[in-house]
Structure 1
Amino acid sequence: MQENNDLPDPAVRVSKLSYVEFRTPDLDRMVEYYTKVLDFNLVEQTAQSAFITTGSDHHCVVLTKGDSAARTNVGYEIWEELGDAQRRLRDAGYDVERRSDIAPGTPDVLVLTEPTTGIDLHLFADQDLVGATEYTPLRPTKLGHVAAFTPELDPLQKFYQELLGFKWSDTVGDFFVFLRCNSDHHAANFMSSTKNEGMHHIAYEMRDPNHLISMLDHLAAHDYRLHWGPGRHGPGHNMFTYHKDPDGNTIELFTQIDVVHDESKGYWEPRPWHESFPMYPKTWEVDIATANHWGPFDQGSLDH
């Protein structure tokens, strides 16, 4: 689709990526990873599920017992009143259900199906603020973004831009798009693929390089090794590291992501590592420097 941020008023306006659900065959093992290794706060746990957070929101990660699967649903906070958002989404031709039984902390939720992937999206006005109540120096600051494969990129990008109000930030080649819902360079990114499906990776933000290094030392002490990084991406320019969680899902820990206040005037927080001044959304070449400015290329990062 045409990379155009001058789109009609969207049906709803997403304000942030709020949570992602994982299914896991070993719930206790995943809870231990998130709480003991990544230092998240466990808010609630039952025999079938756990709700975990980095901040004051009730949860940013939902773990559900079952066959291993990542990004089984995604929750987005929106600016809109839910009744109005439901009407406008239905007017746009989407089936939308309003439910009060999705999860603790989110008693009023709109549920609709994400085009091309078939997963559920949850839209809501806010979460109960009963999550982490005290600061810890190791914990990631927030859920940053989630990347997924899709068999058809254009209709999914159109859905996110025209129906959910996302803006285009960058594209790699013709197959990997980065979309934002606030000033962070991307909250959702999608890679076109006919051989892969599901989640590509999920990313948690660290405050700065020192915070990231402290977490990497903590990972090493718990026998978690990086399979790529540290490095610096081209799109978003975030400093990145990647490792695998106990179920084999790819986890990115990152810092220094681009902040886009007004794309019409360029990226309004210039960084010394930018390639041009000011920076604007663009289509990147498919090469090593796009994936990692600093060096080694992980073939799996752009394997679609």
Structure 2
Amino acid sequence: MATPETAESAVRVSKVGYLGFETPDLDRMIDYYTKMLDFHLQDRSADTAFLTTGADHHCVVLTKGGPKARVSVGYEIWEPIADAQRRLAEAGYKVERRTDVAPGTPDVLVMAEPGTGAQLHLFAAQERSDADNTPPLRPTKLGHVAAFTPELASLQKFYQELLGFRWSDTIGDFFVFLRCNADHHAANFMASTKYDGMHHVAYEMRDPNHLITMIDHLAKNDLRLHWGPGRHGPGHNLFTYHKDPDGNTIELFTQIDVIHDENKGFWEPRPWHETYPMGPRTWEVDLATVNIWGPINEREMDH
């Protein structure tokens, strides 16, 4: 697997901002996000809802339709919108600048993600939500989004050369992890001609106790895990997976690897790392890569 370097002329993404879903039952999905995951409902209309975990106006957008996950992904960028628009146009990509995408994001660049059918939204900042400061159950943020792609190498190149992502890890030759800030990954992609769309979306919990409290809450409401708890190899995050009402895979995680010094390129030392110092690598395809603790869910690695 080639690992292209980040281009100097790339748009500089700072974080994954939001994820868009289509759902046939808007009220059911709002109930799931507000009652199961404790998200704050910031705004809604007859066919759209905007939910958040914190200060940003939204990190989840629900629209009547589907069911379909990852119809759009919003990325916050460091630079002015006009500069990003110029860079992308010069690179040959069709980009539309819009003011009507969503409340809270009045100035957005919209473009097609190569090969997946999803829309990418680039914005400089969101308006603030009126959510309380992180209630006890609520995840701290939208952490990352994973998707299938029939053209992994070209999509990885697009993210690194055009959006400024950096390579973090690869499993075999089919699953790549990319970062846009200190977190191990904000986007990861699995090569597949069998599946398309979203692989999973992940929301971060503060620590293991916070994760356990949330899992207990889900269990009390008859919502069961289908994989985990466990610890991944790439990223080394503690993870659990369950399904939302539309059948989308939801990961709740904590303790993900972070890089504090890009010049050195090593992950922050952790006692469970395989090497010291630990840096980006290509992992063998085996049990310990997927879950250091043991059991594997075959569906999560089926491509």
TM range (shorter): over 0.9
| CA distance in structure 2 between the partners assigned to 1:283 and 1:192 by the alignment | 15
Task: Say which SS state the counterpart of residue 137 (structure 2) adopts.
Answer: coil
2:32 partner amino acid: Y
Contact kept in structure 1, 2:7 and 2:162, CA below 8 Å: no
Q: Distance in 2 between matches of 1:292 and 1:135?
A: 29
Say which SS state the counterpart of residue 34 (structure 1) adopts. helix
| SS of residue paired to 1:178 | strand
- Computed over aligned residues only, the root mean square deviation of the Cα atoms, in angstroms, reads 1.0
* Local SS of the residue matching 1:15: strand
1:23-79 Cα deviation digits (max 9, x unpaired): 000000000000001000000111100000000100000000112000000000000
The corresponding residue for 1:106 is 105
| 1:115 maps to amino acid | P
Structure 1 stretch 77-86 or stretch 254-263: which is displaced more?
254-263
Name the residue aligned to 1:228.
Answer: 227
> Matches of 1:171 and 1:10 in 2, distance apart?
24
Runs of 4+ residues deviating >3 angstroms: none
- Counterpart code for 1:12: V
Change (3 A) 1:68 1:268: closer
**Offset of 1:267 from its aligned partner?**
2.6
Structure 1 distance, partners of 2:86, 2:301, is 38
Number of the residue aligned with 1:219: 218
Greater shift, 175-184 or 127-136, is seen at: 127-136
Question: Which position in structure 1 is the counterpart of 2:293?
Answer: 294
Give distance in 2, aligned partners of 1:62 and 1:138: 20
Q: Residues 72 and 120 of structure 1 are in contact (CA less than 8 Å); yes or no, is this contact kept in structure 2?
A: yes
Q: The residue matched to 1:265 in structure 2 has which SS?
A: coil
**2:247 matched residue in structure 1:** 248
Aligned mates of 1:118, 1:131 — CA distance in 2: 32
Letter in 1 for 2:215: L
Amino acid aligned to 2:270: R
Provide the residue aligned with 1:142 in structure 2: 141
User: What residue in structure 1 maps to residue 69 of structure 2?
Assistant: 70
User: CA, structure 1 residues 299+268, in 2 after alignment: closer, same or farther (shift >3 Å)?
Assistant: closer
Q: In structure 1, how many angstroms separate the alpha carbons of the residues matched to 2:169 and 2:232?
A: 12
- Residue 272 of structure 2 aligns with which residue? 273
1:130 deviates by: 1.9
> TM-score, normalised to structure 1's length?
0.98
Amino acid at match of 2:175: F
Cα distance, 1:266 vs structure 2: 4.1
Query: What is the distance in 2 between the residues matched to 1:280 and 1:268?
Result: 6
Q: For residue 29 of structure 1, what is the aligned residue in structure 2? A: 28
- SS in structure 2 of the partner of residue 136 of structure 1: coil
Corresponding residue for 2:85? 86
The whole-number CA distance in structure 2 between the counterparts of 1:156 and 1:53 is 28
8 Å CA contact 1:59, 1:131 repeated in 2: no
The SS at the match of 1:254 is strand
Is the 1:263–1:280 Cα contact (8 Å) retained in structure 2? no
| Alignment partner, residue 3 of structure 1 | 3
Aligned length in residues: 303
One-letter amino acid matched to 2:149: T
SS in 1 for 2:86: helix
Offset of residue 261 of structure 1: 2.1
* Secondary structure of the corresponding residue to residue 103 of structure 1: coil
Q: Give CA deviations for 1:217-262 in whole Å, capped at 9, x if unaligned.
A: 0000111100000000000000000000000000000000000123
Equivalent residues in 2 for 1:107-186 (5 A)?
107-186=106-185
Structure 1: distance between partners of 2:44 and 2:4: 43
The answer as to whether partners of 2:7 and 2:164 remain within 8 angstroms in 1 is no
Secondary structure of 1:62's partner? strand
Tell me if the contact between 1:10 and 1:164 (Cα under 8 Å) persists in the aligned partners: no
TM-aligned CA deviation for residue 132 of structure 1? 1.6
TM-score, normalized by length of structure 2?
Answer: 0.98
1:56 aligns with 2:55: yes
* Contact 2:97/2:110 (<8 A) preserved: yes
| Aligned equivalents of 2:111, 2:223: Cα separation in 1 | 36
Confirm or deny: 8 A CA contact 2:20 2:69 kept in the other structure.
Answer: yes
Amino acid in structure 2 at the alignment position of 1:29: R
Alpha carbons 2:233, 2:290 under 8 Å: kept? yes
